Amino acid sequence: MFNKRTLSIIKRELRSRLLAKSFILTTILIPVFLIGILAVQTFLLRYQGDEKYNLEIISAKPELTKALNSEFGKNDQVKAGNLTLSFSTLDSAKLENYLTEVKPQILNKKISGVVYIPAAALYNKDLQFYSLNPNNLSLFNKLKGTINKVLVDIYFSGKELSSNEIAFARDDVDFTGFKVSEKGTFEKEGAGNMVLAFLFTFLLYFSLILIGTMMIRSVVEEKNNRIVEVLLSSVNSKELLTGKILGMSITSLLQMAIWLMPVFLLISTSWFMLPPEITLSIGISHLFYFLFNFFIALITFLGLYATVGSIFDNDQDAQSGQWPLLMLIMLPFFIAISMITNPESSIARIASFIPFASLIVMPARMTILEVPLWQIVLSSLINIAVMVSIFPLAGKIYRIGILSTGKKPKWSEVVKWLKYKY
């Protein structure tokens, strides 16, 4: 079985693969790409800590207020100007009236939020945080160390240590978040929305890559089997492209709707009970927006994937040609995952309006906090405009590429195809 002819074929394959530009480039670029992704992820996570906050810290006891004011004066974040704090003392019975007065300042973002430390915090370390973004983990990390030190110092002043007291000293402070809404209510915020944000982000990322890969393989297979020539005898290339995109988009949309059915049942019925710490605070309209946004994303990316598939004659070349499209999906995915700790960061806000990125970032961002309606509408209009503008360009490349066979075209040739009349 192993003879000279077999050896010659092996040598030929090795020469064609090892010396190919695609092999050399992927061998060099993939490690660089992975390192670059890690660097971007690290930057995004570290950037969250550079946000500036203006907070009111209110405690139920004067000694707490005095100690907090003194201890935060030594805090590095305060010295660096990232935290602007004001301290006051207020009885818990008067807290609700005060929050009603200060609510307009929170909604207008003049202050980032109100941290309330009740008297019971000296025993259980449970704090209350009122803000537009009550799950701001990066802010909690800036505060909890200093607050915990003050609580421990006061608790142990003049006491001998016991086992319970040692256990208390080891416990960290716990923030209970309350979302400040436009309705004038203060809703207790659990971890459920953060879980949903991650779920929505992952579903978009996974589905777009999976369906896009299926589109490329379908186009390449039809091109290789000459099926497309039979189809084009009955319809033109524009009709064929539109039919393929819409057919796959509708199928994927139905699949996504089925995947989201458990979430729909959780928020619309009382059939299932969730623990208090993972309550969900989204409406059915949010799910409809997610499906609408997903449909736009499908049409946009499937148009691009079909275009890439029409250029190449085999799966290997097509896989290498789809890297620019993968970047348009992967980078927003990393931004969305990173911003879950702080959806009000500058990167999260900007990415919510950048073409392609907003398709993944905006659904996650509006799951965690209450995004103004005008931002949602503007993001949708940008996405629709990008979707509509892609089709004339994709149609020109698809029309020529689907019937081109033989030598793989250069990207410069593909650019020239755009000059032809469609």
95-144 residue pLDDT tens: 888 888 888 888 888 888 888 998 888 888 888 888 887 777 777 778 88
Residue type at 62 in one-letter notation: P
Q: What is the pLDDT of residue 174?
A: 62
Highest-confidence range of 21-30, 226-235, 327-336, 413-422, by mean pLDDT?
A: 327-336
Highest-confidence range of 84-93, 267-276, 308-317, by mean pLDDT?
A: 84-93
Q: What is the pLDDT of residue 12?
A: 46
Does residue 397 surpass a pLDDT of 90? Answer: no
Q: 């949708």: which residue's tokens?
A: 380
* Cα 330 to Cα 33: distance, rounded to the nearest angstrom: 11
Q: What is the pLDDT of residue 301?
A: 93
* Whether the Cβ atoms of residue 314 and residue 290 lie closer than 8 Å to each other: no
pLDDT in tens, 57-101: 889 888 888 888 888 887 766 665 677 888 889 888 888 888 888
Judge if pTM exceeds 0.75. Answer: no
pLDDT in tens, 318-336: 777 788 888 999 999 988 8
Q: Look at 278 and 10; give whichever has higher pLDDT.
A: 278
User: Number of H helices and number of E strands within the chain?
Assistant: 19, 6
Does residue 9 surpass a pLDDT of 50? Answer: no
Q: DSSP label at 94?
A: G
**Of 169, 120, 122, 117, residue with least CA distance to 143:** 117
* Whether the Cβ atoms of residue 67 and residue 126 lie closer than 8 Å to each other: no
Does residue 13 surpass a pLDDT of 50? Answer: no
Highest-confidence range of 150-154, 188-192, 276-280, by mean pLDDT?
A: 150-154
CATH code of the domain occupying 51-189: 3.40.190
Q: What is the pLDDT of residue 295?
A: 93
Q: What is the pLDDT of residue 31?
A: 56
Does residue 311 surpass a pLDDT of 90? Answer: no
pLDDT, average across residues 225-235: 70
pLDDT in tens, 289-303: 999 999 999 999 988
What b/e string do you get for 390-418 counting C-beta neighbours within 10 Å, with b at 16 or more?
bbeebbbbbbbbbebeeeebeeeebeebe
Q: Look at 26 and 348; give whichever has higher pLDDT.
A: 348
Q: What is the pLDDT of residue 359?
A: 92
**Of 209, 174, 241, residue with least CA distance to 396:** 241
Q: What is the pLDDT of residue 175?
A: 63
pLDDT in tens, 367-380: 877 788 898 999 99
* Cα 116 to Cα 123: distance, rounded to the nearest angstrom: 15
pLDDT in tens, 14-38: 555 555 565 566 556 655 665 566 5
pLDDT band at 1 (very low <50, low <70, confident <90, very high): very low
Of 45-49, 64-68, 86-90, 403-407, the one with minimum mean pLDDT is: 45-49
Q: What is the pLDDT of residue 348?
A: 81
C-beta neighbour count of 217 within 10 angstroms: 15
Does residue 207 surpass a pLDDT of 90? Answer: no
Mean pLDDT rounded to a whole number for the chain: 76
**Of 87, 90, 53, 91, residue with least CA distance to 69:** 87
End-to-end CA distance of the chain: 53
The domains of the chain are located at 51-189, 192-417
